[in-house]
Structure 1
């Protein structure tokens, strides 16, 4: 991904009373070295991030992403981000975007080892072309996540509900899916419940009822999934959060993996079992997701 813009944030305390944070942002050359060799984001993956879709210069679902950044910070014992400072940083970076789709990333790390403060920065890049996934659909395989559905409550130090920089397992799962001639993966717990994709949430359709796994089982609560549920409810559909047994996947009438940048990708096969793709309905979901949303 070729970064087109980046800025570093001098993190403000959560109780900072300023209303204008422009002086705390430093634009940097996105192609030049910027981090210390002691930076813990690169040394240990010790930090958190958010990816925000940008459409024609408008950052989508900014508030939801900022709230999730704060949630991840709490889980990781990081200083609370000043949300107004980050909101202004998002707006400043989004204004530099070219027409079309881009991806904006917020990154907050613990900083330099033994250093006095965290490190924070925001980047922007053109989004990849996701037309094929949105229109033709994707093939998915189920992969064991390696823990049971009670693990998050039993072992909160695993940070299963935080969006951390430690994405080695997620990327390994996608590589494994491709080795199995699929496009993406869907994690299931070791006791047989559906979780999420490595970089996405899953929505299942049973008739006119739309279901996603409840977020309490170590699932990252997806901003795109939440927004789509609001949209579907407005259209008169039933939406619900449930524990979904992996065995129920074979009963689904349709499925989507949804995320902030790829948006709604219809699933056309799960573990090589074909699944119907409703092209017109999916197109309507993606038209909504591409419309300006705050």
Structure 2
């Protein structure tokens, strides 16, 4: 019997499907009380399992940063396949894999679950693009070097700052945000990676600036390389953003959206190239 959404708990005894309408997370779970956990997002298109290695690599890197146990890739893959089978057939399925430190005062067993539900329809925003404001993240680009406990490159459950940034963007009449560092570098969006183009060179900030490794960004680089463009990781000065030929924010579910307004200033948009990029990202998600 199919259903939506689908919630699976990954327990020591196995994988268990539970009723999404019933409470499943203890109020004393470290994930609920402190945001002490990690997660990963996977986009499923037409019921086909996408490549998972890069996402598991990032999930494990986040777990290491939080001193959590490394994941069992085989179990998570099994749970992901089970969620696709159990869910009502939809064109795009958004799946969240999450793991917390477990119950406060418990035996240290992590709490782990998978949530599968229909993805939001981002067709319109992929075509229209987004208006963006730059917001200071409050850290220098090398802050993670001397303070790894800031968890700047980890995908952890404490997303309150990112949500607050998006609310601030809305107050300013914008759709999204590009974070900047106190030393003047452009970094990433609250839920996306930054990709820029100038001439035949496509760039993204590197992870050494304290940002999350972008799995969709890596796929986007392969697309641009297939079009004969050069790609590289490089520091991107926030003050120079308006001088680029194109800006994109890329993520697994929303895919690529062009920035058409930056801090109130109109930006050039290559609609054809953006459409081709999104077609490439969708094909990559169906590749297995």
TM-score normalised according to structure 1 size: 0.93
Is 1:159 aligned to residue 151 of structure 2? Answer: yes
Is 1:5 aligned to residue 6 of structure 2? Answer: yes
Which residue of structure 2 lines up, in the alignment, with residue 74 of structure 1? 64
Q: Is the 8 A contact 1:258 1:264 kept in 2?
A: yes
Which residue of structure 2 lines up, in the alignment, with residue 55 of structure 1? 45
Q: Is the 8 A contact 2:142 2:208 kept in 1?
A: no
Which residue of structure 2 lines up, in the alignment, with residue 113 of structure 1? 104
Q: Distance in 2 between matches of 1:241 and 1:61?
A: 23
Partner-residue secondary structure (3-state), 2:202: strand
Q: Distance in 2 between matches of 1:228 and 1:178?
A: 27
Q: Distance in 1 between matches of 2:282 and 2:146?
A: 39
Instruction: Give the stretch that moved more between structures: 104-113 or 26-35.
Output: 26-35
Alignment deviations for residues 172-204 of structure 1 (CA, whole Å, 9 cap, x no partner): 000000100000000000110011000000100
Which residue of structure 2 lines up, in the alignment, with residue 287 of structure 1? 279
Aligned-residue Cα RMSD (Å) equals 1.4
Equivalent position to 2:174, from 160, 170, 182: 182
Alignment deviations for residues 225-282 of structure 1 (CA, whole Å, 9 cap, x no partner): 0111122212321000001111120210001100011000111011011111111111
Alignment deviations for residues 16-70 of structure 1 (CA, whole Å, 9 cap, x no partner): xxxxxxx710001112111112111111100000011111112433221111111
User: What is the Cα deviation at residue 91 of structure 1?
Assistant: 1.6
Is 1:100 aligned to residue 91 of structure 2? Answer: yes
Which residue of structure 2 lines up, in the alignment, with residue 35 of structure 1? 25
Q: Is the 8 A contact 2:205 2:234 kept in 1?
A: yes
Which residue of structure 2 lines up, in the alignment, with residue 15 of structure 1? none
Q: Is the 8 A contact 1:140 1:185 kept in 2?
A: yes
User: What is the Cα deviation at residue 3 of structure 1?
Assistant: 5.6
Q: Is the 8 A contact 1:3 1:123 kept in 2?
A: no
User: What is the Cα deviation at residue 219 of structure 1?
Assistant: 0.5
Q: Distance in 1 between matches of 2:200 and 2:190?
A: 26
Which residue of structure 1 lines up, in the alignment, with residue 249 of structure 2? 257
Q: Distance in 1 between matches of 2:149 and 2:71?
A: 20
Which residue of structure 2 lines up, in the alignment, with residue 238 of structure 1? 230
Partner-residue secondary structure (3-state), 1:58: coil
Structure 2 unaligned runs (5+)?
A: none
Q: Distance in 2 between matches of 1:244 and 1:36?
A: 43
User: What is the Cα deviation at residue 150 of structure 1?
Assistant: 1.4
TM-score normalised according to structure 2 size: 0.95
